Amino acid sequence: MLKKAGGIAAPLLYDFRCSSPWFETPSMCVQFVLGRQRELSSATAAEIERLGSVVAWVHGRPSGDLVDGPSKPGDLGSYAEGRLQSIIATAVWVRDPLPGPIQAGLRAAADSVQRSWERAQDAQSFRSGGALALLHGDIGPGNILWCPDPVLIDWEYARLGDPADEIAYLFDQNGLSPCQREALWHGYREGVSSQALLAHVIDRVDWWEPVTLLGSALWWVERWVRRANADAADRVDPDVPRDPGYYSKHVIRRLDRLDRLLVRD
């Protein structure tokens, strides 16, 4: 993936070793990129437009050689259903010691999102025949270096998937304003060859946004519960070092946005 994106959307990959005399784990050497991180909510429309162009360029990379073995990648519908079920599965963390109203709100949101797939799966935008694309998987302020054009780092969650999934995540995870969203679409549109397929991507973003927001909320729920359980047992969980209030704040903020989205829909 870095070989495909390096030099434009990602640092150049210089070397990769499964083993070496210096490290006990696989390691790689990548280009040093001199840039700065920032919250996307404070980025200008011009900067967001450049980010849209970079995201479109990544989504347009040939991806057939990224699939191992003779199996073919799935279609948009199977990807969406699989992604949704993987998110719903993390609702097992919605349990005590979370406050009852938070649990009820999260379960209601999960039920609503799951029902939405029953309506969306037969939509033309999911049956348009568009191919799965290379996704970065986590476009947030900590994974973008501005130098001055945006460079994406930390490709840990890279995968083949629906471009609309990535854009919806980018919108809701970063709290982009309507003007910023329009700027991103403007930059993205210039990097897409088929305007018909772009129209389908735009339609699918409306379905994906509550899905990705639910996934983000449940990710923070797991950390909130793990931290609360660690405190109750008077032990340390190194994966959740922050105060419980830090995790609860992220959950409540996302649940509020999710409620507004679902009411709108």
Domain boundaries, the chain: 2-264
Strands (DSSP E) found in 37-126: none
Which residue shows structure tokens 């649940």?
Answer: 255
pLDDT above 60: residue 69 = no
* 66 neighbors 160 (Cβ within 8 angstroms): yes
Amino acid 263: pLDDT = 81
Structure tokens at 77: 């519908």
**Predicted confidence band at 129 (pLDDT cuts at 50, 70, 90)?**
low
Number of DSSP helices (H) and strands (E) in the chain, helices first: 8, 6
Under 8 Å CB-to-CB from 43, ≥6 apart: which residues?
51, 180
pLDDT above 80: residue 250 = yes
pLDDT above 70: residue 70 = no
pLDDT above 90: residue 253 = yes
Q: What is the mean pLDDT of the chain?
A: 92
Phi, psi (5° rounding) for residue 218? -70, -30
pLDDT above 90: residue 265 = no
Structure tokens at 244: 């419980």
**Predicted confidence band at 72 (pLDDT cuts at 50, 70, 90)?**
low
Distance CA 7, CA 221 (A): 36
pLDDT above 90: residue 243 = yes
Under 8 Å CB-to-CB from 76, ≥6 apart: which residues?
126, 127, 128, 130, 132, 162, 204
For residue 179, give Cα distances in angstroms to 46, 69, 172, 193: 11, 43, 14, 24
Distance CA 216, CA 251 (A): 8
Q: With a threshold of 0.85, does the pTM exceed it?
A: yes
Architecture of domain 2-264: Alpha-Beta Complex (3.90)
For the segment 8-51, what is each residue's pLDDT rounded down to a tens digit?
999 999 999 999 888 889 999 999 999 999 999 899 999 999 99
SS3 147: coil
Amino acid 115: pLDDT = 95
Amino acid 64: pLDDT = 79
